[in-house]
Amino acid sequence: MSAPVLSVTDLSVTLALPAGEARRLLDKVSLDLGKGEVLGLVGESGSGKSLFCRTLVRLLPSPNMRIAGGRIMLGERDLAKASEAEMLSVRGGRIGMIFQNPTSHLDPVMSIGDQLVEGIRYHQGLDARAARKAAIEILRQVGFPEPERRFDAFPHEFSGGMRQRAMIGVALSCNPEILIADEPTTALDVTIQAQILQLLMDIRRERGLSIILITHDLGIVAQTCDRIAVMREGRLVEEGEKRALLRSPTHLYTKALIGSHPSMPSPSQDEGAAVPAPDPVAAGARPLLEVDDVNVRFAGAGSLFGGSSGAVHAVAGVSLKIMPGETVGIVGESGSGKSTLARAILGLTPIASGNVSFDGTSRCDDPAAFLKRLRHETAMVFQDPYNALNPRLPIGEMLAEVLRVQGRTPPAEIPARVGELLDLVDLGREFAGRRPRSMSGGQCQRAGIARALAVEPRLIIADESTAALDVTIQAQILDLFRVLKRKMNLTLLFIAHDLAIVRNLCDRVVVMHRGRIVEQGASARLFEHPAEAYTQALIRAIPDIDPDKPLLPQAAREVA
């Protein structure tokens, strides 16, 4: 490694508790960052990754937290002991930060250009004209088409990927030496994720930046970073050159992270994938769910004089059959129509034309009977495990409420049934008395699955149900779905933009793009021999633990 631009030695952070005790959140973490190096900082939620990086710039998330020991050497300056006035010049000027959710960190009432100009003028001392010219050049560098015109646009006018580019631009506007990227691609589709990561690598090469990339995805660090540091429970458990660490990890936790990565199927899975499963649709069995030429349209944006810019076709002529006991994955980028199709199937979004049938009951023939069957025999698991649960209700009361509404369980038997549901999702029965705020994301998602099971469904629709979870927790939830599917003979419709997860879980895959199905087939066959250029681009953009795989293959660049 080259001479470090940042050297952290025995950094410890504590949290003062009400009883007068102190809880140690970071425990003697030591790390160096070389000039021009990309350091991947990995670990599960709560491992201390983000807290470590916030401590570097002295932005601790609570006034009850303090640096209890250690040094943070940026050149000859110890940031652990620097004054607040000194830190004002360090934040942004020498160390820039990119956050996970650009919507929360971009000012909604300032144009993108003005937010760049603000940093340029403060840290570089340029006048308004020169700062505007520099800001337009940065917008061009981070991939904005027509940067002169986009300069005056506001964050809400951009997609998630473009907002993340804008945040990268804001960080670069201060011309820092070090860039900290905190989960910058977690909420993005695989192709957009690859573009953002490639952009960071290009900027690193052009500017000689040193980058700390925080992520829970080892596939990302394998394809972007020079070194990997693994954190767990506030401690640094392992670090090293990426190839050596991925090839021969020494710590059990690192081995578990690598083994949980969805782009690394086990040999048994590979062998099973080599022989495509028979197509149940072709076998002549009656589908459990049948979608026939469904169209969903939304009104376009209104004008100043009450007009409309035309209808948006969110789902356009989709036909689909799902057989009993199947696990079908629907994949595609944000805006492809996946979630809208799911909501249309469940009657939560109006259908403009077409038909949906559930086990022979048709929406067109008997809408009331159709909706009644859906309410009693289907359930949904949502993406955000916290917002999907009622924060005021204990988990047991939430499950009991569903059982009372369904009316299938006698009132005297409801407490016992709540316990059975918690057992099914591997939550201890003590969780019946706990509220969501006291639970982890994985535990909340298990509670959400238990709520879905409370209706005794034949079909579960899981809408991005693992997108917000760490890779090890993702693996646990996927294993849970497999067990429940086998125990309860469930049919599963699994919506995701993560093709690696779909490859490992689903029997059949449906690929959507701009409201239409562009390709579908048995999972093994589709991943081995994708026919459409769009599907090929999605597959090639999956982060892989192979460090020699290109981050953004040419085919993906062309489609993007």
Beta bridge partners of 213: 40, 181
Residue 499: name the closest of 338, 372, 333, 361 by CA: 333
Q: Name the pTM for this structure.
A: 0.74
**Cα gap 315→338, rounded to integer Å:** 8
**Cα gap 151→166, rounded to integer Å:** 10
Residue 197: name the closest of 164, 172, 230, 241 by CA: 164
**Do the Cβ atoms of 531 and 520 come closer than 8 Å?**
no
Same domain (yes/no): 353, 497: yes
Residue located via tokens 């023939």? 365
299: tokens are 């009104």
Indicate whether 73 belongs to any domain. Answer: no
Indicate whether 91 belongs to any domain. Answer: no
Indicate whether 65 belongs to any domain. Answer: no
| Domain end marker among 172, 200, 219 | 172
42: tokens are 């990995």
Indicate whether 372 belongs to any domain. Answer: yes
Provide the number of structural domains found in the chain: 2
Indicate whether 180 belongs to any domain. Answer: no
Same domain (yes/no): 144, 292: no
pLDDT in tens, the chain (560 residues): 567 999 999 999 999 988 778 889 999 999 999 999 999 999 887 788 989 999 999 999 888 999 999 999 998 999 999 999 999 889 988 999 888 777 778 899 999 999 999 989 988 888 999 999 999 999 988 888 889 988 999 988 887 778 888 888 888 888 899 999 988 877 677 777 888 888 889 889 888 899 999 987 788 888 899 999 999 999 999 999 999 999 999 999 999 888 877 654 443 444 444 334 445 444 557 899 999 999 999 875 554 445 545 567 889 999 999 999 999 999 988 778 898 999 999 988 999 999 999 998 999 988 888 988 888 899 999 877 778 899 999 999 999 999 999 888 999 999 999 999 999 998 889 999 999 888 877 888 899 999 999 999 999 999 888 876 777 788 888 888 999 998 888 999 999 877 888 988 999 999 999 899 999 999 999 999 999 999 988 888 777 787 877 665 543 444 44
Indicate whether 119 belongs to any domain. Answer: yes
Residues with Cβ < 8 Å from 32, sequence gap 6 or more? 1, 4, 6, 7, 8
Indicate whether 177 belongs to any domain. Answer: no
Residue 58: name the closest of 8, 131, 18 by CA: 8
DSSP E strand boundaries for 132-234: 178-182, 210-215, 227-232
Domain ranges, residue 141: 109-157+165-172
Element (H or E) spanning 509, and its range? strand 508-513
Residues with Cβ < 8 Å from 8, sequence gap 6 or more? 29, 30, 31, 32, 56, 70, 71, 72, 73
Indicate whether 135 belongs to any domain. Answer: yes
Same domain (yes/no): 151, 292: no
**Do the Cβ atoms of 28 and 11 come closer than 8 Å?**
yes
Phi-psi sector, 273: left (phi>0), alpha (psi -120 to 50), beta: alpha
The radius of gyration of the chain from alpha carbons, rounded to an integer in Å, stands at 25
* DSSP 8-state class, residue 233: T
> Which CATH number characterizes residue 522's domain?
3.40.50.300
